[in-house]
Structure 1
Amino acid sequence: MRSNIARRTGIRTATLAAIAVAAGLLVSGPAHADTGTYVNNGNATPTSTGTLGTGVGQKLTGAQMVQRALDWVSHNVSYNQGQSFSDAEVGGPYRTDCGGLVDMAWQLTSSPVVTTPSPGIDSSTYSTKLTSWSQLQPGDALAVAGEHINLFAGWINQSAGTFHYIAEDNPSVTTGEYSASTSDTSIDGYPKSSFELLRSNNLAPAIPAGFSVTANAQQDGSTVNLTSTVTANGYINYVNYVITGPGGYNQTFRAGGGPASPNTTGYAYTWNTNGLTAGTYSVQPVANEIDGADHSYAATGVTVAPSGGNRLYGLSSDKSAVSVWNGTGSGPGAWTVIGGAATQIYAGGFGLFATNPNDGSISKYNGTPGSWTVVGGPGATYAVSNDHLYGLSSDKSAVSVWNGTGSGPGAWTAIGGAATQIYAGGFGLFATNPNDGSISKYNGTPGSWTVVGGPGATYAVSNDHLYGLSSDKSAVSVWNGTGSGPGAWTAIGGAATQIYAGGFGLFATNPNDGSISKYNGTPGSWTVVGGPGATYAVGASSLYGISSDFSAVSTWTGSGTSWTAVGDSASEIAVGS
């Protein structure tokens, strides 16, 4: 039984299309330029086979093999052993005959003949022999030694033994799709008994049922360490993380290599959330698997806090331990000890840092209780922005930035000269001049600073502003963003003892009654939010304070002058990621 099913462009049977969909045939890989040299007496040039496969040297599925052969069917490729179709993106050149059709479908790098000279396509170099017709699956080949070869395209009804195959027969017909049956005595003009059944060595293994990829996200300050766990190895070419979130955020990042064994993590990517809009982001792993297709798996959520972070850290009253508030409650169980003795703690969007009382070195908290890394030696003071740690040398002769790794002199880069104090936040780094008291903004290049104002008592940096308290503490002002003279600053408030700023805004304490007020964004407009306190820390969306007698830590509820206790005594607090 031999019937021509389709030999013209666009004419494919519904049955074969159904088989293609069911087997996942309609999968397209990366597009490549058509480098073909084929001339077909007026018929259409075949598609670059690179658009239908997985690329040079990669395995492909039986479904893709059939799709590649169907391209020659749709383009009416004629039989001619004297010409070939070259596709450098995948392999070839492929002769336009029966063997070349299968060579092309199997994405071989060359175009061996059916059997002779050796090694032919039926040799172990290229294929494995099957022992039964029932073993056939899409992409296998039916070969007559030294004579002819066809591509098996799929079963019509396996129990009845009917199937489709694709063939390049002779110069009188173009590449076509045909049907046959295992009960036929001859197939494509050859005795059924003369056929050997071949499976390509380039066949990708079937992706197992239940195969899955699970995304993991571990946050460390503004850094999110993404990994994925797979249930089996050997089925993924690469993994992308597609991340979507507030403000139309939509980015795709290519991960690193996979895990060494199943059910362990791999495919790592470090995602920096600095400057992103606060909110919940969806991180979806999309795996390009051995079938050449992208497969999407369940997304995981990552909550990005407003720049500057919102995690509260505290140094015990005797400075013997550093702890982090767990987010609820106020007793000892509401806090977790994460570090030992410290002289001072510093925090911001870039994380938490603490200085050692024994040698003055500074260390970065790694996110796990007890895990800290020394990043530098002694310094006069430090400041943390959303993406950097800055330090002022012990003798205050130089300002430096930590390069992000290491702890020796080479781990820091000098970026400025002598300073009295440094201030940092989402808006950048600022330093005061010991000679004239002026304040300058770091421009991001070592040695490049711009004076932005004259002397002041103190300063505070939020995500988008620099605020200053006049030398006599009679007025609070905001830098307008350009210039350095009196016109570069706008008075926004009266006398204050101290000012504090962060993602949640600007706050100032009253020198008369010790109360603390929040700046409402309009010069002269402030709202009292609490009574006296020893000190405060501003986070991304919270204000925390230590009571005047240092016996309790509380957070402003956001309403009136109401505060909620979150902890017992502390010598100092800091807020960051």
Structure 2
Amino acid sequence: MVVTVLLAVALLAANQDSSPGTDVSGAPGAPPGATSASRAPESAAPPAAGSVFTIGPGGRGIYQWDGQGAAWTRIGDTAERLWAGPAGLFATGTRDRRLHVYGGRPGVWYPIAEPGRDFAVSGSHVYRLAKDGSAVFVWDGEGTSWTRIGGPAARLYGGGPGLFATDPGDGRIFKYRGRPGDWEYAGTAGAAFALTDRHLYGLTLERDAVNRWLGSRRKETEYRWTRAAGPAGALYGGAAGLFSTDPRGERLRRYDEGAGEWRDIGPAGAEVSVGDREVYRLAANRAAVFRWDRNSGTWRRIGGPAQTLTAALTH
């Protein structure tokens, strides 16, 4: 059944512009790396498949797990948040809140942008929402050069299907079509959104159903959403699929697309991050990191404690 759910942004009428972060080097603050460099490389190093990254308690230490045993490598000193995807690994500093890109070697980080309200990674691109929410930018891939691609937004969502942004006024959601100022209305407001490698999903404002966007409309009067599953609390997406908490936020479920139902896979925890094939969960007390194997359906502790975590997406 096709339904009218979700989403769009009165946003995004934009012109090409110079970087919002043209002068980010040399300012006082706490960069993620022990030897943060002043200029980013011409291309960032994409994370290895199966990697997961964490920030230690209190923002101290950035760590990488490469998918083997329980060994973690410290790759940075301090950070507040992390983003990972084909475009690379990115982190915001604990004091200056600037965005840095990982140079591929422990301790090597490059500042690429001033603070932003939100960031997102989609494919080979990283996007930034201005600190005041007034504009959306895409990193040009070198130094601190950014191009303005859209106007005001509230939140950015990046993933396999592309970049999406919500309107700061009414919560509607729009998809970026790859050219500055070119955004497509996707739907009305939702309580939450998540992207897998193929689809955009939205939770209704009443939280009583999750719907899947079917793509571009053929005509203005057509609503391109269909019901996917029942009630949910939070949504999480990645190449491994769509996941959610139950409405009480206590259990984690996997979306069974064939059956159109949620399948319980364990406790919800404090945070969840979805990778290429696995799912990672931070325990409710943040004392341990667990990895879920989709083949066996079991959880295994791989590390911890941690403040936050993010899984690498390589496609």
Q: What's the TM-score bracket when you normalise by the shorter of the two chains?
A: 0.7 to 0.9
CA contact (8 A) 1:518 1:528 kept: yes
Q: Greater relative contact order: 1 or 2 (C-alpha under 8 angstroms, separation 6 or more)?
A: 2
Q: How far apart are residue 560 of structure 1 and its match?
A: 6.3
2-structure distance, mates of 1:516, 1:559: 17
CA contact (8 A) 1:491 1:523 kept: no
Query: TM-score normalized by structure 1?
Result: 0.45
1:480 aligns with 2:214: yes
1:448 aligns with 2:185: no
Judged with a 3 Å threshold, the aligned counterparts in structure 2 of structure 1 residues 523 and 420 are, in CA distance, closer, same or farther, namely: farther
Render the CA deviation track for 1:476-527: whole Å, top value 9, x for unaligned.
1110112387831111111111111111111111123621111122362232
CA contact (8 A) 1:492 1:523 kept: no
Render the CA deviation track for 1:352-373: whole Å, top value 9, x for unaligned.
1000122221110111101111
1-structure distance, mates of 2:259, 2:129: 33
Quote the sequence identity (%): 38
Q: How far apart are residue 220 of structure 1 and its match?
A: 2.9
Q: How far apart are residue 336 of structure 1 and its match?
A: 0.6
2-structure distance, mates of 1:469, 1:459: 6
1:321 aligned partner: 61
1:347 aligned partner: 84
1:507 aligns with 2:228: no
3-state secondary structure, aligned to 2:112: strand
2:9 aligned partner: none
1-structure distance, mates of 2:259, 2:210: 10
1-structure distance, mates of 2:85, 2:245: 21
Q: How does 1:4-153 map to 2 (within 5 A)?
A: none
CA contact (8 A) 1:528 1:561 kept: no
Unpaired stretches in structure 2, ≥5 consecutive residues: 1-43
1:361 aligned partner: 98
2:135 aligned partner: 398
Judged with a 3 Å threshold, the aligned counterparts in structure 2 of structure 1 residues 347 and 512 are, in CA distance, closer, same or farther, namely: same
2-structure distance, mates of 1:494, 1:316: 35
CA contact (8 A) 1:531 1:561 kept: no
The worse-fitting range, judged by mean Cα deviation, of 437-446 and 509-518 is 509-518
Render the CA deviation track for 1:531-570: whole Å, top value 9, x for unaligned.
2311111111111110111111000122565200000111
Judged with a 3 Å threshold, the aligned counterparts in structure 2 of structure 1 residues 485 and 546 are, in CA distance, closer, same or farther, namely: farther
Q: How does 1:367-516 map to 2 (within 5 A)?
A: 367-407=104-144, 411-483=145-217, 487-512=223-248, 514-516=250-252
One-letter identity of the residue aligned with 2:138? V
2-structure distance, mates of 1:402, 1:513: 35
1:535 aligns with 2:271: yes
Q: 4+ residue runs of structure 1 moved beyond 3 angstroms?
A: 484-487
Please provide the CA RMSD for this pair.
1.9
CA contact (8 A) 1:492 1:522 kept: no
Size of the aligned set, in residue pairs, is 268
2-structure distance, mates of 1:317, 1:417: 35
Judged with a 3 Å threshold, the aligned counterparts in structure 2 of structure 1 residues 433 and 353 are, in CA distance, closer, same or farther, namely: same
3-state secondary structure, aligned to 2:59: coil
3-state secondary structure, aligned to 2:58: coil
Q: How far apart are residue 321 of structure 1 and its match?
A: 1.1
1:59 aligned partner: none
Unpaired stretches in structure 1, ≥5 consecutive residues: 1-218, 223-304
Q: How far apart are residue 326 of structure 1 and its match?
A: 3.0
Judged with a 3 Å threshold, the aligned counterparts in structure 2 of structure 1 residues 317 and 544 are, in CA distance, closer, same or farther, namely: same
Greater helix share, structure number: 1
1-structure distance, mates of 2:210, 2:282: 23
1:248 aligned partner: none
CA contact (8 A) 1:535 1:547 kept: yes
CA contact (8 A) 2:50 2:66 kept: no
Judged with a 3 Å threshold, the aligned counterparts in structure 2 of structure 1 residues 326 and 310 are, in CA distance, closer, same or farther, namely: closer
Query: TM-score normalized by structure 2?
Result: 0.81
One-letter identity of the residue aligned with 2:254? K
